[in-house]
Amino acid sequence: KEAKLWGGRFEEGVTDAVERFTESVSYDKQLYKHDIRGSIAHASMLAKQGLISVSDRDSIIEGLGEIEKRIESGEFNWRADREDVHMNIEAALTDLIGEPAKKLHTSRSRNDQVVTDLRLWCRDAIDKILASIKQLQVSLLKLALNNQGLIVPGYTHLQRAQPVLLQHLLLAYVEEIERDAGRLIDCRARMNFCPLGACALAGTGLPIDRFMTSDALGFTAPMRNSIDAVSDRDFLLEFLSANAITAVHLSRLGEEWVLWASEEFGFITPSDSVSTGSSIMPRKKNPDPMELVRGKSARVIGGLVTLLTLCKGLPHAYNRDLQEDKEPVFDSVRTILGMLEVLSEFAMNITFNRERIQKALPAGYLDATTLADYLVKKGVPFRTSHDIAGKSVASCTSKNCQLLDLSLDELRSINPVFDKDVYEFLGVENAIQKFISYGSTGSACVADQLDYWMKKLEIK
């Protein structure tokens, strides 16, 4: 068995069970690129500070380049007995270049190294998620542009409420995920500080330059406090919180499309390319991708809860428990990216069933609130208007008709304030034209929203 890099004081090796239980390389090898990038910055700083020679620096950097190539071509031998990504790379570097590799860990600990790698990794992950959010926004906007003028029932309590333009609803999703993007951008800015050089927890007596490594790695500045630097995982908590909120948004959208694809609603037909079948029921065509968007949001929420629970009892500075921070983060990112991608594809592959939707519109008195607004315009106090419109609806339910089917006499028998211009307010097509408030579903307001997003997302 190979001696451990930390093995100086040990007389016995660890048992196989302990080795299996404590290794993290099986998953933290994903950090290799960022680990190597961090080591190159660190070696360059050590040389500039005279802590290693320029020729040692050069052979370290060259060796790390070679290792990166081997990792990427699949030739690299990841060894569980070398514990984690950091020691795998350092030991492989020693195998490759000998003595100079032994100087790389000068004034560095795995405690600051791992959290530097993670911050770099998360920064890249956030950039990927931001690009995917934008992609979904573009797909939703295109879907809106392809469905000009389509009115759908708007729901509250999942009961028919008021008519809305489909475009208005689609843009609601776009707004929602714009805030998700905003949270990630804020989180990225807050996480972009460099822990490297904090060493185990206390810093070092060697003359390092933390500002140099921070700059080289694209951080805003080195973290001010070395204990905080190795201790803190709130950047992950914030990141996973942002992901969890995004996942909840995506899940709600997925749920809406599952409902809309049902026979009962029948508002959308997903194409075959985004549907799956049943192994027993030959007629089935299921919106599984959307169900899984809903389902996978659970993992993203779970990742956050895992991390919160992991951190809550830890004394300050590094504890080995923190090794458990990575899998939830990797999983959260992989899952969110998958959800965003499949939602975007789904959006590009659904058809709105105009006829079916149109047929569904008359039911549910979607124009009842517009009728109340009409009465307000006639000078009736809103509470009274609400009551009159309610009585009009009641009269319809007993006659089994719509509001616009009531004759003027029938309406006047409810209240004499009704005039024949009331028919300009009834029926969903009329009703939708009456919305004029900022941000409302009126055609002009929705056109403004579309304009805004087309410019922002650079769509012509």
Outline where 265-415 has alpha helix (H): 288-312, 326-347, 354-360, 368-377, 382-399, 408-414
Token output for 107 = 């004034």
Nearest residue to 242 via CA among 187, 296, 192:
187
Nearer to ligand ARG, 130 or 201 (CB): 201
Q: What's the full length of the chain, in residues?
A: 460
**Is residue 198 a contact partner of residue 143, using CB atoms and an 8 Å limit?**
no
Residue choice 82, 110, 294, 434 for contact with ligand ARG (CB under 6 A): 110
Structure tokens, 205: 């007596």
The stretch among 191-199, 238-246, 315-323, 432-440 that binds ligand ARG (CB under 6 A) is 315-323
Work out whether 320 is an interface residue with ligand ARG (CB under 6 A).
yes
Please, which of residues 72-91 interact with ligand ARG by CB under 6 A?
A: 84
Minimum gap (Å) between residue 25 Cβ and ligand ARG = 8
Name the catalytic one among 262, 271, 278, 413.
278
- The smaller minimum CB distance to ligand ARG, of residues 13 and 338, is found at 13
For residues 228 and 31, give the distance between their C-alpha atoms in angstroms, rounded to a whole number: 22
The stretch among 108-116, 237-245, 275-283, 421-429 that binds ligand ARG (CB under 6 A) is 108-116
Binding segment (CB under 6 A) for ligand ARG, from list 73-81, 109-117, 126-134, 249-257: 109-117
CB 187 to ligand ARG: min, Å: 21
* H/E segment holding residue 221: strand 221-222
Q: Is 283 within 8 Å of 196 (Cβ atoms)?
A: no
Question: Shortest Cβ distance from residue 110 to ligand ARG (Å)?
Answer: 4
Q: Note whether 120 binds ligand ARG by CB under 6 A.
A: no
Pairing of strands 268-270, 350-352: antiparallel
323 sits near ligand ARG (criterion: CB under 6 A) = yes
Minimum CB separation of residue 438 from ligand ARG in Å reads: 51
Closest to ligand ARG by CB, 26 vs 413, is 26
Are the CB atoms for 339 and 135 separated by under 8 Å?
no
Task: Please report whether residue 420 would count as binding ligand ARG according to CB under 6 A.
Answer: no
**Residue in the structure block whose two tokens are 């069933």:** 353
Q: Which of 84/238 has CB closer to ligand ARG? A: 84
Q: How many residues bind ligand ARG (CB under 6 A)?
A: 9
The minimum distance between CB 60 and ligand ARG, in angstroms, equals 20
Identity of the residue, 301 or 307, whose beta carbon is nearer to ligand ARG in the bound complex: 307
Among 43, 60, 89, 114, binds ligand ARG (CB under 6 A): 114
Does 278 qualify as catalytic in the annotation?
yes
Kindly give the residue spans of alpha helices, DSSP state H, lying in 192-325.
210-216, 226-231, 234-260, 288-312
Instruction: Name the active-site residue from 73, 157, 273, 279.
Output: 157
Q: State which residue, 283 or 320, has the beta carbon closest to ligand ARG.
A: 320
- Residues 308/312/317/323 CA torsion (nearest 10 deg): -50
End-to-end CA distance of the chain: 64
Does the annotation count 316 as an active-site position?
no
CB of 115 to ligand ARG, least distance (A): 8
What is the footprint of ligand ARG within residues 21-40 (CB under 6 A)? 24, 28
Strand partners, 269: 351
**Which of 190, 31, 185 is CA-nearest to residue 115?**
31
- Only one residue has tokens 């933290």, namely 28
Q: How far apart are the C-alpha atoms of 311 and 227, rounded to whole Å? A: 15
Q: Per rule CB under 6 A, is residue 306 in the interface with ligand ARG?
A: no
- Contacting residues for 92 by C-beta, under 8 A, at least 6 apart: 67, 70, 76, 77
Active site (catalytic) residues: 157, 278
User: Which stretches of the chain bind ligand ARG, using CB under 6 A?
Assistant: 24, 28, 84, 110-111, 114, 320, 322-323
